[in-house]
Amino acid sequence: MDLGIVGKRVLITGASQGIGYAIAKDFAREGCRAAVIARREEKLQALVEQIGGREKGHAYYAGDLMREGIPERAVEALKADGEDFDIVVHNIGGTLEVRDPLAPWEEWFRVWRFNAGVAIEINRLLIPAMQEKGWGRVIHISSLAGEQLRGCGPYGAAKAYLNAYTKVLGRAVAPSGVVVSAIMPGSILAEGGHWDKVQKNDPAKLADYLRHHQATGRLGTPEEISCFALFLASKYATFAQGAVVPVDGGTM
Protein backbone atom coordinates (compact mmCIF):
# COMPACT_ATOMS: atom_id res chain seq x y z
CA MET A 1 0.00 0.00 0.00
CA ASP A 2 1.32 3.43 -0.95
CA LEU A 3 0.99 5.58 2.18
CA GLY A 4 1.94 8.76 0.34
CA ILE A 5 4.80 9.65 2.70
CA VAL A 6 7.90 8.83 0.65
CA GLY A 7 10.44 11.63 1.10
CA LYS A 8 8.60 13.22 4.02
CA ARG A 9 10.64 14.48 6.96
CA VAL A 10 9.55 13.00 10.28
CA LEU A 11 10.65 14.01 13.77
CA ILE A 12 10.41 11.31 16.45
CA THR A 13 11.05 11.90 20.13
CA GLY A 14 12.00 9.16 22.57
CA ALA A 15 13.35 7.05 19.73
CA SER A 16 16.24 5.22 21.37
CA GLN A 17 14.22 2.13 22.35
CA GLY A 18 10.80 0.51 22.44
CA ILE A 19 7.92 2.07 20.54
CA GLY A 20 9.90 5.09 19.35
CA TYR A 21 12.66 2.88 17.99
CA ALA A 22 10.15 0.75 16.08
CA ILE A 23 8.43 3.86 14.72
CA ALA A 24 11.71 5.29 13.42
CA LYS A 25 12.57 2.05 11.63
CA ASP A 26 9.11 1.78 10.08
CA PHE A 27 9.10 5.35 8.77
CA ALA A 28 12.58 4.88 7.30
CA ARG A 29 11.41 1.67 5.64
CA GLU A 30 8.56 3.63 4.03
CA GLY A 31 11.03 6.09 2.51
CA CYS A 32 10.80 8.90 5.05
CA ARG A 33 13.78 10.84 6.34
CA ALA A 34 13.82 10.38 10.10
CA ALA A 35 15.19 12.83 12.66
CA VAL A 36 15.27 11.23 16.10
CA ILE A 37 15.69 12.69 19.57
CA ALA A 38 16.57 10.95 22.84
CA ARG A 39 19.08 11.25 25.67
CA ARG A 40 21.45 8.40 24.77
CA GLU A 41 23.68 9.38 21.87
CA GLU A 42 25.16 5.92 21.32
CA LYS A 43 21.67 4.46 20.86
CA LEU A 44 20.71 7.19 18.41
CA GLN A 45 23.93 6.76 16.41
CA ALA A 46 23.28 3.04 16.11
CA LEU A 47 19.67 3.63 15.05
CA VAL A 48 20.56 6.19 12.38
CA GLU A 49 23.23 3.88 10.97
CA GLN A 50 20.81 0.95 10.97
CA ILE A 51 18.15 2.82 8.97
CA GLY A 52 20.57 4.12 6.34
CA GLY A 53 22.64 6.90 7.87
CA ARG A 54 22.92 10.58 7.10
CA GLU A 55 23.39 9.90 3.41
CA LYS A 56 19.74 8.78 3.38
CA GLY A 57 18.67 11.99 5.08
CA HIS A 58 18.40 10.67 8.64
CA ALA A 59 19.71 12.61 11.63
CA TYR A 60 19.67 12.66 15.41
CA TYR A 61 19.92 15.01 18.36
CA ALA A 62 21.01 13.74 21.77
CA GLY A 63 19.52 15.74 24.62
CA ASP A 64 17.13 15.77 27.55
CA LEU A 65 13.90 17.35 26.34
CA MET A 66 12.85 17.96 29.94
CA ARG A 67 15.56 20.59 30.31
CA GLU A 68 14.59 24.18 29.64
CA GLY A 69 15.43 25.29 26.12
CA ILE A 70 16.35 21.85 24.81
CA PRO A 71 13.16 21.24 22.75
CA GLU A 72 13.72 24.46 20.79
CA ARG A 73 17.45 23.80 20.47
CA ALA A 74 16.86 20.27 19.21
CA VAL A 75 14.32 21.37 16.61
CA GLU A 76 16.55 24.15 15.34
CA ALA A 77 19.56 21.84 15.14
CA LEU A 78 17.63 19.25 13.14
CA LYS A 79 16.33 21.98 10.82
CA ALA A 80 19.87 23.15 10.12
CA ASP A 81 19.35 22.73 6.40
CA GLY A 82 16.31 25.00 6.56
CA GLU A 83 13.81 22.28 5.72
CA ASP A 84 10.73 21.96 7.92
CA PHE A 85 9.16 18.75 9.17
CA ASP A 86 6.08 17.15 7.63
CA ILE A 87 5.36 14.68 10.43
CA VAL A 88 6.09 14.64 14.16
CA VAL A 89 5.62 11.68 16.48
CA HIS A 90 5.75 12.48 20.20
CA ASN A 91 6.85 9.36 22.02
CA ILE A 92 8.49 10.54 25.24
CA GLY A 93 6.59 9.85 28.42
CA GLY A 94 6.45 7.75 31.55
CA THR A 95 5.62 7.74 35.25
CA LEU A 96 8.96 9.17 36.46
CA GLU A 97 8.23 6.91 39.45
CA VAL A 98 5.75 9.45 40.84
CA ARG A 99 3.06 7.19 42.25
CA ASP A 100 1.56 9.04 45.22
CA PRO A 101 -1.63 11.01 44.45
CA LEU A 102 -0.61 13.28 47.34
CA ALA A 103 2.77 14.05 45.82
CA PRO A 104 3.72 17.77 45.74
CA TRP A 105 2.36 19.75 42.82
CA GLU A 106 5.90 20.11 41.49
CA GLU A 107 6.05 16.33 41.00
CA TRP A 108 2.66 16.31 39.27
CA PHE A 109 3.87 19.11 37.02
CA ARG A 110 7.08 17.23 36.21
CA VAL A 111 5.07 14.20 35.07
CA TRP A 112 2.74 16.46 33.06
CA ARG A 113 5.67 18.13 31.32
CA PHE A 114 7.22 14.77 30.44
CA ASN A 115 3.99 13.38 28.96
CA ALA A 116 2.33 16.48 27.50
CA GLY A 117 4.23 19.72 28.00
CA VAL A 118 7.22 18.88 25.80
CA ALA A 119 4.88 17.89 22.95
CA ILE A 120 3.00 21.17 23.31
CA GLU A 121 6.26 23.11 23.11
CA ILE A 122 7.48 21.27 20.00
CA ASN A 123 4.09 21.54 18.29
CA ARG A 124 4.18 25.30 18.72
CA LEU A 125 7.47 25.30 16.81
CA LEU A 126 6.50 22.93 13.99
CA ILE A 127 2.79 23.29 13.24
CA PRO A 128 2.83 26.83 11.74
CA ALA A 129 5.04 25.62 8.85
CA MET A 130 2.71 22.64 8.31
CA GLN A 131 -0.24 25.01 8.15
CA GLU A 132 1.52 27.15 5.56
CA LYS A 133 2.14 24.07 3.40
CA GLY A 134 -1.42 22.84 3.87
CA TRP A 135 -0.24 19.37 5.00
CA GLY A 136 1.09 17.89 8.20
CA ARG A 137 0.69 15.05 10.66
CA VAL A 138 1.12 15.25 14.45
CA ILE A 139 0.88 11.96 16.36
CA HIS A 140 1.02 11.66 20.15
CA ILE A 141 1.82 8.35 21.79
CA SER A 142 -0.55 8.45 24.75
CA SER A 143 -1.58 5.49 26.92
CA LEU A 144 -4.65 3.51 27.86
CA ALA A 145 -3.92 4.81 31.37
CA GLY A 146 -5.39 8.11 30.20
CA GLU A 147 -8.81 6.43 30.09
CA GLN A 148 -8.53 3.78 32.79
CA LEU A 149 -6.68 5.99 35.31
CA ARG A 150 -5.25 2.91 36.99
CA GLY A 151 -1.76 2.57 38.39
CA CYS A 152 0.19 5.83 38.76
CA GLY A 153 -2.33 8.64 39.16
CA PRO A 154 -0.13 11.52 37.95
CA TYR A 155 0.81 9.54 34.81
CA GLY A 156 -2.81 8.64 34.00
CA ALA A 157 -3.92 12.24 34.55
CA ALA A 158 -1.14 13.54 32.30
CA LYS A 159 -2.14 11.16 29.51
CA ALA A 160 -5.81 12.14 29.95
CA TYR A 161 -4.69 15.74 29.48
CA LEU A 162 -2.73 14.72 26.37
CA ASN A 163 -5.83 13.05 24.93
CA ALA A 164 -7.92 16.17 25.52
CA TYR A 165 -5.18 18.38 24.07
CA THR A 166 -5.08 16.16 20.96
CA LYS A 167 -8.79 16.71 20.36
CA VAL A 168 -8.66 20.46 21.01
CA LEU A 169 -5.60 21.02 18.80
CA GLY A 170 -6.87 18.66 16.10
CA ARG A 171 -10.10 20.60 15.75
CA ALA A 172 -8.30 23.94 15.74
CA VAL A 173 -5.89 23.12 12.90
CA ALA A 174 -8.19 20.82 10.88
CA PRO A 175 -9.09 23.43 8.20
CA SER A 176 -5.41 23.85 7.31
CA GLY A 177 -4.84 20.22 6.31
CA VAL A 178 -2.87 19.33 9.43
CA VAL A 179 -4.12 16.16 11.14
CA VAL A 180 -3.47 15.75 14.86
CA SER A 181 -4.10 12.37 16.48
CA ALA A 182 -3.02 10.08 19.32
CA ILE A 183 -2.50 6.38 19.90
CA MET A 184 -3.26 4.81 23.28
CA PRO A 185 -1.14 1.66 23.59
CA GLY A 186 -2.02 -0.91 26.19
CA SER A 187 0.60 -3.07 27.89
CA ILE A 188 3.66 -3.36 25.63
CA LEU A 189 6.69 -5.58 26.10
CA ALA A 190 9.76 -3.57 25.14
CA GLU A 191 13.37 -4.01 26.22
CA GLY A 192 14.05 -1.94 29.31
CA GLY A 193 10.38 -1.08 29.78
CA HIS A 194 8.07 -1.71 32.74
CA TRP A 195 6.75 -5.07 31.57
CA ASP A 196 10.21 -6.25 30.59
CA LYS A 197 11.28 -5.72 34.20
CA VAL A 198 8.15 -7.43 35.55
CA GLN A 199 8.68 -10.41 33.22
CA LYS A 200 12.25 -10.83 34.48
CA ASN A 201 11.70 -10.09 38.17
CA ASP A 202 8.13 -11.17 38.94
CA PRO A 203 6.77 -13.62 36.33
CA ALA A 204 3.91 -14.61 38.64
CA LYS A 205 2.69 -11.02 38.66
CA LEU A 206 2.82 -10.92 34.87
CA ALA A 207 0.92 -14.20 34.55
CA ASP A 208 -1.78 -12.92 36.91
CA TYR A 209 -2.08 -9.67 34.95
CA LEU A 210 -2.40 -11.45 31.62
CA ARG A 211 -5.01 -13.83 33.00
CA HIS A 212 -7.22 -11.09 34.42
CA HIS A 213 -6.63 -8.09 32.16
CA GLN A 214 -5.50 -9.14 28.68
CA ALA A 215 -8.08 -10.65 26.35
CA THR A 216 -5.27 -11.70 24.02
CA GLY A 217 -3.44 -13.43 26.84
CA ARG A 218 -0.17 -11.68 25.96
CA LEU A 219 1.55 -8.32 25.92
CA GLY A 220 1.81 -6.24 22.78
CA THR A 221 4.95 -5.44 20.78
CA PRO A 222 6.32 -2.04 19.73
CA GLU A 223 5.77 -3.04 16.08
CA GLU A 224 2.05 -3.48 16.77
CA ILE A 225 1.95 0.22 17.70
CA SER A 226 4.31 1.62 15.08
CA CYS A 227 2.13 0.41 12.21
CA PHE A 228 -0.74 2.55 13.52
CA ALA A 229 1.58 5.56 13.61
CA LEU A 230 2.36 4.94 9.94
CA PHE A 231 -1.31 4.91 9.02
CA LEU A 232 -2.09 8.08 11.00
CA ALA A 233 0.78 9.78 9.16
CA SER A 234 -0.43 8.61 5.76
CA LYS A 235 -2.52 10.15 3.03
CA TYR A 236 -5.41 7.97 4.23
CA ALA A 237 -5.73 9.73 7.60
CA THR A 238 -7.43 12.84 6.26
CA PHE A 239 -10.56 12.36 8.41
CA ALA A 240 -8.71 11.54 11.66
CA GLN A 241 -8.56 15.07 13.11
CA GLY A 242 -8.43 14.75 16.89
CA ALA A 243 -8.68 10.95 16.76
CA VAL A 244 -7.51 9.10 19.90
CA VAL A 245 -7.07 5.45 18.94
CA PRO A 246 -6.81 2.62 21.52
CA VAL A 247 -4.47 -0.23 20.55
CA ASP A 248 -4.50 -2.45 23.60
CA GLY A 249 -5.15 -6.09 22.78
CA GLY A 250 -8.56 -6.01 24.43
CA THR A 251 -7.37 -4.78 27.82
CA MET A 252 -9.99 -5.36 30.51
> What's the rounded Cα separation, in Å, for the pair 109 and 91?
18
161 is catalytic: no
> What's the rounded Cα separation, in Å, for the pair 54 and 57?
5
Task: Determine the residue type at 104.
Answer: P
What string of DSSP letters covers 79-146? Answer: TTTSPPPSEEEE-----TT---TTS-HHHHHHHHIIIIIHHHHHHHHHHHHHHHHT-EEEEEE--THH
Q: Are 40 and 21 in contact (CB under 8 A)?
A: no
Task: From the candidates 21, 155, 161, 209, give the one annotated as an active-site residue.
Answer: 155
> What's the rounded Cα separation, in Å, for the pair 25 and 226?
9
Question: Which residue numbers are catalytic?
Answer: 155
